[in-house]
A and B are shown apart, each in its own frame.
Chain A
Amino acid sequence: MTVLLTLVALLSLLSFLLKCSFFPRGWTAVAALALALAVRLAIPWLVRQPAGLVADWTSTPGRMLDGAVCIVLEAVLMMAFCFGRPSGRLRLLSLYPGLLVFPAACWGWDQLLFARPGIHFDRFAWIAALVTLAVAFGGSRLLARLVPDEATRLEGLFLINLFLLLLCVAATGAITF
C-alpha cells in the first residue's frame, strides 16, 4: 500500500507541475501559493495524527473506493484538458491545477515529520510551505523550459493521468472483488 500511495502522490505532483506549466506565470504563482498555504495550514493538524492514520484510511474499503473515485475524476478532468484547449465556460478547466496534489503534498511532508524527530513543528511548517512554493512554482516553470513543446507536455500529462486512472481502476477492482 505504501508503494501505491507513493506512486499516486508522485504522479499527482507531476500532473500538477505539468498542468501548471501551461498556466501564465501569475496563475502558476497563485496555484503554488495555494498549495504552500495548504501545507502550512495542514502541518499543525498533521502533527496530531498518528502514523496509522493513512493505514486506517486505506484499510477501510469504503473510504478507499471514495478516494479512488476522486482520483479517477481528477484524472478524467486532466485527460479532458489534453484533448484540446477548452472554450467557453470550460475554459476554467485550463486553469484548474488539480486538487489531488494537496493531500499528496501533505502526505509527503507527513512522511518527513515521522522520519525527523526533534524538529520544531512551527518552523517545519514554514519551511515545508516555502519548499512547496519553490517546488510548485519553480518545478512547473522548469518543466516548461525543459520541455518547451506543449504537445509533448500534453502527452505526458495525458499518460500520467491515464496511468493514475488505470492504477485506481485496478486498485478499486482489487478492493471490490
Chain B
Amino acid sequence: MPQARNKRLLRILAVAAAVLLLLAAGRSLLAPTRILVVNATLAQQADIALNNDCRHIRLRFADADKVVADGKPLRHTDAVVIFSRGLYLDEAQVARLEKAGDRGLTIFTNTLNNQHVDIQCNLTEAQQEALLGYFRNPSRHNYRNGLRFLRSVATPLRLGDRHYEAPVPLLTDMYYHRQYGKYFETHAQLSDYLRESGLYHEDGARVAFISGLNFPMEGNRAHVDTLITRLTAAGFNVYPLTASGKKREQMLRSLHPDAVIYLPMGRLGDDAFIRWLHEENIPLFNPFPLIQPHSTWIDPLQPVSSGTLTARIVVPEIDGGIGNYCIATQNESPEGFWLHTPEMERIDAFLSYFTHYMALRTKPNAEKRVAIGYFKSPGQDALLASGMEVIPSLWRFLLRLRSEGYNVSGLPESEEAFGRLVHREGSVMGSYAPGAQAEFLRRAHPVWLTREQYEAWAAETLLPEKYQEVVARYGPAPGQLLVRGDSLAVACLQFGNILLFPQPRPALGEDEFRLVHGAGVAPPHSYLAPYLYMQKGFRADALIHFGTHGNLEFTPGKNVGQSQADWSDVLVGNLPHFYYYTTGNVGEGIIAKRRTHAALVTYLTPPYVESGMRQRYQGLLDDIHRALAAGETGGTDAALGLRIKREAVRLGLHRDLGLDSTLTVPFTQSELEALDNFAEEIADEKITGAYYTLGQPYSPRDLLTSTLAVAADPLAYETARRDRDAGRITEAQLQDFDYLHQHYLPEARRRIGALLQHPAQDTAAVAAELRPALTHYKALAASPQHELDAMVRALNGGTVFPAPGGDPVLNPNVLPTGRNMYSINAEATPNPQAWEDGKRLAEETLQRYREAHGDYPRKVSYTFWAGEFIATEGATLAQAFWMLGVEPLRDKQDRVVDLRLVPAEELGRPRINVLVQVSGQLRDIAGSRLRLLTDAVRLAAEAPEGGGWPNYVAAGTQEQEKALLDKGLSPERARELSTMRVFGPLNSGYSTGMLGFVESSGSWDDEAEIADGYLNNMGAAYGDESNWASFEPGLLAAAMTQTDVVVQPRQSNTWGPLSLDHVYEFTGGLSLAVRKVTGREPDAFFADYRNRYSRRLQGAKEAVAVETRATLLNPTFIRERMKGGEGSAQMFGELFRNVFGWNATRPSVLDPQLYDAMYDTYILDADGLGIHDYLERVNPAAFQAMTAVMLESARKGYWKATQEQLQTTAALHAGVTERHGAACTEFVCGNAKLEHYIAGQLPEPQRKSYDAVMRAVRDVAASDASQVVLKSDRLSEPSQQPQLLQHAGWVGAGLAILLFVLLLFLLRRKNRTV
C-alpha cells in the first residue's frame, strides 16, 4: 500500500512538474517582446506607439538619464532602441549599457555620423543595416515593421505574429499635399493635381512649403495639414515638398516660389543658396511647432528650451528667416501620447502676418499705408535713436518713400519745418507734467478716440484677461493721460498714407522709473491706443520702428514664440514689421527682432574720427620714450624726468594713475611705463563723431578715419604676426598691446591712409594685406544707400539680407549695413578662442588683485551682456568657468554639453567663487549657459580641497546657506539656493531700474536706498529650471557677500563707461550694493574686448579716465559732436547724467576734479567752442539737463563747488529755462528740491522769473509729484533680536539643567537624612 501510494504521489508530482514546465515554456515562448525606446522625442514616442500594431510587442519609453543612472529600466527588457540625437554619455555610462549588452540584451542605436553615442549589441551588421533602414526612415510603415523586425531579432524563439516587411526608404525629392499617399515628382504635376482638385488659385502666389523629410509619411502632423489647408484657403498655391541638401535647393530653384515656409530644424541651405534666395527676393518664413505643452508655452516666465531656441530661432535667423511664430504645442492626448496640437489662434496670426507680407509684393506703393513709430522721452528732449539723428533721418526716409511712389502728401518742404512739426504734434507726455499735457492738447492735433471706439478695438485685439490687467492697474478707459472727457488722444502725424507716432510711456506712476527697458506691468491705455489705432483705424499695411531702440520689445512677456498674451506680439498686430537698428547693438537688436516679429535693417554707427589726443600728448610721449630708453641703458636725465613730471601733473594724469605730484622728484621707471601706457591708450582711443543720418554718406574725411579704425588694427597685428614668425619680434611683444600700438599701428595707419587717399585704379595692384581696407572702405561708403534700399525692398514684400551684428571695428563683416542681424549658437559657447581668452583674463584678474592686495580674491562678480556674449562668443562666461576651476567639454558638434572639474593641483590656486548679474537680453538668448554655470558652481562647491589651496566656492556656498538659514528659510531651500550665483531682473523683465532710481535723485537722500532698489530689482535667480526667475528676499545679498572684484565686459568702440548709462547701471549698481552688503567697495575692472586681437583687462578708474579725456573734456571731440543736430547734442546731457550716475554708485572711478573741469569746459566754455550757442540752437532741453545735473551734483555734495561756480551755473540754467521754457524732462521738472536749490543760487530778479517759469510747471505737475516714489523692497539687516533670544534660550536651558541637578542633589540628601 505504501508503495502504491508513493507511486501515485510520484505520478502526481511528475504531472505537476510537466504542467509547470509547459506553463513556463509557454509563458516564455508566448510572452510579448519588451522593447525599451530611449531618448526619443515625445513626438517620436507617439508616432512609434501609435504605429505599433503587434500585440506581441510591449513598448516602454525612457529618458536616457534614467537608463544610465542605475540601469533599472534595462531590467525585464528584451531589446533597446536608443535615439542618439542630442545624447551625450560619458565613458562610464556607455560601459554600463555595453555591460547590459554582454548579458544578452539587444541594443540598437539609431545614430547619424556626427552623433556621439553609437552602441550596437547582439546585432549582426545586416541586422543593424536593416534597423537603420527602418528607424532612419521614420514613417508609419517603417515604425510598424521596424518594431516587428527587432522582435524577431531580439526574441527569435517567441511564438506569435512574426510577420514583418522590409523597410521602405523614405520618399524624398518629391511634392505632396494633404492627401496621404499622393506624391508628385514635379511641381507641375502638383499644380495639375491642385487644379483638378479645385485648389489652385490662378493669381495666387507660389509658396514652397518644407515641413520635414518624414512629414508626408508620418501621422503626427495635424499642425502641418492645418497650415497647408489655411494657406490654400487664403488664396496661395502651396507646394509642400520633401527633399534635403542639394536636391532641395534644385527643387526650390526650379519652383522659384514667391515665398518659402520652412519648418524643419537646421538651415535651409548653404550660404550660396541663401544668397540666391535673397537675390531672387524670395522671403523665408519660419513658423515652428514647440516641443512644450500649451500650459508651459502660455506661461511668460517659462522660456522655450535652449534646444528649441537654437533650432527654431537662432539657425533660421542666420538664413534671414522671419515670422518665427509658434504654430503648435505638444500636448498629451487622452491615450497618453504627446501629439502636436495646432494652436489655432497662432496659425491664424501667422497666416495674417504672411498674407500682409505677401500683399506688399503686389499692392501699389501709392496705396500702401505705413506706420512709423519712433522713440522719444517726455518733454522737449530730442527724438532718440542710438547714434542716429532721427529727424533728418526720418526726413530723408520719407523723401525716399515719396520718390518710390508712396503717398506722403503734406510733408513739409524743409527738414527744419518737419522737425518743428514732429516736436509739436508727436510729443510724449510723462504723467508728472499734466500742465505740459494740457498745453499739448491745446496746441497739437492728435487723433481722438472715443472710449467706445477704443474699447471695441481693444476687445477685437486683446485677450479679455490682458485688457483686464490694464483696467485693474490704470482704471477704465480712457485712463488719465492725454484725455479729454470720454476721449483719448493719440499723438501722431499723418502725411498721406504715412503715419508717424511716438512710442508713449509703457507704464505710468511708480513704474515710470523702469520704462525704457520694461516695467513688469501691463501698459496703460495711452500706450495701447496708438498701436490699436495704427492697426484698426489707420489700417497700416506695415509697421516700422525707427531707430535703436524703442520700448515695445521690453514689455512683459515671453522671450520667443509669443502668444496672444504677449503685448509685444499683439500690439504689432501681425503686420510686417521692420526695425531700423544700429549695427552696434546686436544684443538688444536680437531681442527686438524676436519679441516683435521684426526684420531688422541695420544702420551705421556714427563715424570714427580722430580724437586729436595723439597730437596733444605727442610731446609728453616723446619725452617719456626718451626717458624710458635712457633708463634701459642705465642712464638718467634728471631735467627730462622733471619735465615729464611737470607735464603729467599739469594734465592731471598723476591723479588717474594714483602717482605723486611732488615736482622735485621724477617718476620711477615703472611709473614712467605706466604713464606711457596710459598716455598711449588715450592717444589711440577710438571716438565717434556726430550722430549718423540715415542715407547720408560719411564725409570723405570720416570715411577715411572710419576705415582706419576698422582696418588699421588688423593690418598692424597681421604685420606683427609675420614679424614674429620671422623671428623679428618675440611672442611676448606680439601679445603686448602697447608695443604693437607704438611700433606697428602708426605704419599700418600710414599705409592705409596713403592707399585710400590715392586709390589704385587696378585693385589687383593693391598689396594683398591692404585689400581688406579697400573692401571695408567701399562697404562703408555703400552702406547709407543700402540702408534705404533695404527698407524699400522690405516694404515691397522682399527680403532683408542676413548679417552678423556688432561694432564694425570688432567685426567688419557687419558691413555693409542695411541687413538683418542674427545671433550666435549659445550651445557652442564659450568657443575655443573665447575659452583661451577667458582663462587668460581670469588669471590676469587674479594677478592684478594679488598685486594690489597680496592675496587672492574670494569672489569675483561678472556682468553678462548679450552684446558681449554674441561678439566674443562667451569670453566672460569662460572667465567665470575658469575662476571656478571647471572647463567645458564639447560633443562632436562642438557644443558645450558638460563640464570637467579641474583638479586643485592642476589649477594651482584657490577656486574662486563667482557672482553673475545678467541683463534680461542675455538671459533670453543664452539661458542654457546660465544653467550650465550653476552646474559649474555646484561642481566646484563639492570639489575637495587639494594642493594646499582653499576652495572659496565651497566656503562661499556654505556662507550663503548660513545667511539664508538666518533669514529663516528651510534648510532644504537654503541648501538649494546656496549655489545660486546668477541673478537678473525680476519677472523675466529687462530693467535693473537703476537709471530711474538714480535720476529721480530728489526722492532719495542716501545712496543706500539705491542699493536697496538694486537688491530688489536684480534679485531674481536664473540658475536652474526649478528656480528660474524665482525671487527670494535676501538671496542676492547673501550671494553678494565676500565679493572682492567686479568685472564688466566692454565689447564696442562706440560706447564707454561714461557714454553708456548701462555701465554705471550694472557695474555701479553692483558696486554700490556690494558696498552696502559687505561694507567695502570691490575692485572694478573692464574685460576689454574692443580689439579682437588683444582682449585685455583694464582698471575701471583707468577706463573712465581715458574716456573722460578722450571725449567729455576733449575739445576735438566736442567740436566733432557739435557738427550734429539735436541727437548729438542730447548725448552731452547723457554724458553728464552718467557722471552723476557714477557719483551716486561708485564715485571712486571719477577724478575728484572732474566737475571743475566740466564747469570750465561747458559752463565757462573756456576753450571757446561756442557750446552755449550750439546747445541753445539745437537742443536747449539737453542744455538744461546738463546744468541741472551740475547743480544737482552740487546739492548732493558730489561737486564741491564754489559759490561763484554755483551762481554762474544756476544763472545759466535759469536763463536757458526762461528763454526756452522748462524742458520738462524728469531731471528738470521732476525734482522740487533741485528747483528750490537752483532758485536759492539766483539773484532776486532772476529768481522771480525762474520761479514763475517753474511754478507754471510745478503747479500743474504737483498732483503727480507724489507718484515719484522709490519702489524697493528694503532689505533690513538681520535683526539682532532673534539671536539674542536664541542665546537667552540656551542660557535658560543651562539654568534649567543646573536647577535639575541641584534638585536631584537636594532630594537625594533629604532622602538620605530621612
Residues in A lying within 8 Å of B, measured CB to CB? 1-3, 5-7, 9-11, 14, 46-52, 113-115, 117-118, 121, 147, 149, 151-152, 155-156, 159-160
A11 to B1297, CA, bound (A): 9
Give the shortest distance, in Å, between B620 (CB) and chain A (any CB).
56
B958: which of A9, A118, A147 is its contact (CB, 8 Å)?
A118
- Say how far A171's CB is from chain B's closest CB, in angstroms: 14
Q: Say if the beta carbon of B1292 comes within 8 Å of chain A.
A: yes
Taking CB atoms and an 8 Å cut-off, the chain B residues in 939-970 that contact chain A are 957-959, 961-962, 965, 968-970
Known interface pairs A3-B1289, A117-B961, A118-B957. Does A52 touch B1307 (Cβ–Cβ under 8 Å)? no
Cα distance A121–B1289 when bound, in Å? 25
Asked if B431 CB lies within 8 Å of chain A CBs, one says: no
Task: Given A52-B968, A117-B965, A118-B958, check contact A10 B1297 (CB 8 Å).
Answer: yes
**B959: which A residues are within 8 A, CB to CB?**
117
- B1292→A7 contact, CB < 8 A: yes
For the complex, what is the distance from the CA of A62 to the CA of B1308, rounded to whole Å?
Answer: 40
Contact A51–B1292 (Cβ < 8 Å): no
What are 22 contact pairs spanning A and B, CB under 8 A?
A2-B1282, A2-B1288, A2-B1289, A7-B1293, A7-B1296, A11-B1296, A47-B970, A47-B971, A48-B970, A48-B973, A51-B970, A114-B965, A117-B961, A117-B975, A118-B961, A149-B1308, A151-B1311, A152-B1307, A152-B1308, A152-B1311, A155-B1307, A156-B1307
Closest 7 CB pairs of A and B: A117-B961, A51-B968, A2-B1289, A6-B1289, A118-B958, A117-B962, A3-B1292
| Contact present for A6 and B1292 (CB under 8 Å) | yes
Instruction: Determine whether the beta carbon of A51 is less than 8 Å from that of B1308.
Output: no
Q: Say whether A49 contacts B970, CB under 8 Å.
A: yes
Evaluate contact between A6 and B978: CB separation under 8 angstroms: no
Beta-carbon contacts of B1287-1314 to A below 8 Å, as 1s and 0s?
A: 0111011001100100110011001000
Decide: B1308 and A2 in contact? CB cutoff 8 A: no
B1311: which A residues are within 8 A, CB to CB? 149, 151-152, 155
Please, what's the 1-or-0 string for B12-37, where 1 marks a CB less than 8 Å from any CB in chain A?
00000000000000000000000000
B926 within 8 A of A: no
- Measured CB to CB, the nearest residue on chain B to A159 is B1303
Known: A2-B1286, A14-B1300, A151-B1311. A51 touches B965 (CB 8 A): yes
Q: B760 on the interface (CB 8 Å rule)?
A: no
Q: Find out whether the CB atom of B1303 lies under 8 angstroms from the CB atom of A50.
A: no
**B972 contact from A1, A47, A149, Cβ within 8 A:** A47
Q: Is the CB of B972 within 8 A of A48?
A: yes
With contacts A152-B1304, A156-B1304 taken as known, whether A5 is within 8 angstroms of B1289 at the C-beta atoms is yes
User: 14 new A-B pairs (CB below 8 Å) besides A147-B1304, A155-B1311?
Assistant: A1-B1285, A2-B1285, A2-B1289, A3-B1288, A3-B1289, A7-B1292, A7-B1293, A7-B1296, A10-B1293, A10-B1297, A47-B971, A51-B968, A117-B978, A159-B1307
Contacts of B871 in A (CB 8 A): none
**Chain B residues whose C-beta falls within 8 Å of the C-beta of A156 in the assembled complex:** 1300, 1303-1304, 1307
In this complex, what residue of A is CB-closest to B963? A117
B961-1004: CB near A (< 8 Å → 1, else 0) gives: 11001001111111100100000000000000000000000000
Smallest Cβ-Cβ distance to B1282: which chain A residue: A2
User: Which residues from chain A contact B965 at a C-beta distance below 8 Å?
Assistant: 51, 114-115, 117
- Chain B residues at the A interface, C-beta cutoff of 8 Å: 957-959, 961-962, 965, 968-975, 978, 1282, 1285-1286, 1288-1290, 1292-1293, 1296-1297, 1300, 1303-1304, 1307-1308, 1311
Chain B minimum-CB-distance residue to A118: B958
CB nearest neighbor in A for B969: A50
Q: Which residues of A contact B1307 (CB under 8 A)?
A: 152, 155-156, 159
User: Nearest Cβ in chain A — how far from B202, in angstroms?
Assistant: 69
Determine how close the nearest CB of chain A comes to the CB of B697; give it in whole angstroms. Answer: 64
Residue numbers in B under 8 Å from A7 (CB-CB):
1292-1293, 1296
Q: How many A-B residue pairs have CB under 8 A?
A: 80
Chain B residues within 8 Å of A147, by CB: 1304, 1308
Residues on B with C-beta less than 8 A from A159 are 1303, 1307
Identify the closest chain B residue to A14 (Cβ).
B1300
Q: Is the CB of A121 within 8 A of B1300?
A: no
In angstroms, Cα B961 to Cα A51, docked, is 13
Distance of A46 Cα from B969 Cα, bound (Å): 12
Chain A residues in 8 Å Cβ range of B970: 47-51
Indicate if the CB atoms of A117 and B974 lie closer than 8 Å: yes
Chain B nearest CB from A157 CB (Å) reads 10
Cα(A77)–Cα(B1262), bound, Å: 71
For chain A, what secondary structure do more than half of its interface residues adopt (helix, strand, loop), or is it mixed?
helix
A3 and B1285: CB pair below 8 A?
yes
Most buried by B among A9, A11, A117, A160: A117
Chain B residues, CB < 8 A from A51: 965, 968-970
Determine the chain B residues whose CB is within 8 A of the CB of A5 once the complex forms.
1289
A52 to chain B: which residues have CB within 8 Å? Answer: 968
Q: How far is the CA of A22 from the CA of B701 in the complex (A)?
A: 103
Residue of B nearest to A150 (CB): B1311
A152 to B1307, CA, bound (A): 6
CA distance A121 to B959 in the complex (A): 17
Known pairs A3-B1285, A149-B1308, A152-B1308; A121 contacts B1292 (CB<8 A): no
B1276 to chain A, nearest CB (A): 16
- Residue of A with least CB distance to B1287: A2
Nearest CB in chain A: distance from B83 CB, A: 35
> Smallest CB–CB gap between A148 and chain B, Å?
9
B1293 touches A6 (CB 8 A): yes
* Bound Cα distance A118, B963 (Å): 12
Q: Which residue of A lies closest to B1311 (CB)?
A: A152
Q: Which A residues are in CB contact (< 8 Å) with B1292?
A: 3, 6-7
Choose among A1, A6, A159 the residue with the greatest number of B CB atoms under 10 Å from its CB. A6
* Chain B hits for A11, CB < 8 A: 1296
Most buried by B among A147, A152, A159, A160: A152
Q: How far is the CA of A117 from the CA of B941 in the complex (A)?
A: 13
Chain A residues within an 8 Å CB radius of B972: 47-48, 121
Q: Which chain B positions have C-beta within 8 A of A151?
A: 1311
Q: How far is the CA of A14 from the CA of B1304 in the complex (A)?
A: 11
Residue of A nearest to B954 (CB): A118
* B971 nearest CB neighbor, chain A only: A47
**Complex Cα gap A50–B1034 (Å):** 14
Which of A6, A47, A114, A117 contacts B1290 (CB under 8 A)?
A: A6
**A-side contacts of B1290, CB under 8 Å:** 6
Residues of B within 8 Å of A9, CB to CB, are 1293
Most chain A CB neighbours (cut-off 10 Å) among B969, B973, B1286, B1293:
B1293
* Central interface residue in B961, B969, B1297, B1307, by most chain A CB within 10 Å: B1307
Give min CB distance, B1118 to chain A, whole Å. Answer: 56
Q: What residues on A are CB-neighbors of B974 within 8 Å?
A: 117
Q: What's the Cα separation between A140 and B965 when bound, in Å?
A: 34
Assembly CA distance A52 to B1308 (angstroms): 41
List chain A residues, Cβ under 8 A from B1286.
2
- Shortest beta-carbon distance, A83 to chain B, in Å? 16
Q: Specify the chain A residue showing the minimal Cβ separation from B1286.
A: A2
Give the complex CA separation of A5 and B971 in angstroms. Answer: 20
Q: How far does the alpha carbon of A1 sit from the alpha carbon of B1292 in the complex, in Å? A: 11
Cα A113 to Cα B978 in complex, Å, equals 15
Which of A49, A114, A151, A159 has most B Cβ within 10 Å? A114
Instruction: Compute how far the CA of A46 lies from the CA of B1285 in the bound complex, rounded to whole angstroms.
Output: 21
CB distance from A104 to the nearest CB of B (A): 11
Q: Cβ of A14: which chain B residues have Cβ within 8 Å of it?
A: 1300
Q: Are A160 and B1300 in contact (CB under 8 A)?
A: yes
Output the nearest chain A residue to B962 by Cβ-Cβ distance.
A117
Residues from chain A with a CB closer than 8 A to the CB of B975 are 47, 117, 121
CA of A113 to CA of B972, assembled, Å: 10
Which residues from chain B contact A115 at a C-beta distance below 8 Å?
965
Measured CB to CB, the closest approach of chain B to A87, in angstroms, equals: 24
Contact between B958 and A50, CB atoms less than 8 A apart: no
Docked CA distance A160–B973 (Å): 38
Q: How far is the CA of A121 from the CA of B1285 in the complex (A)?
A: 26
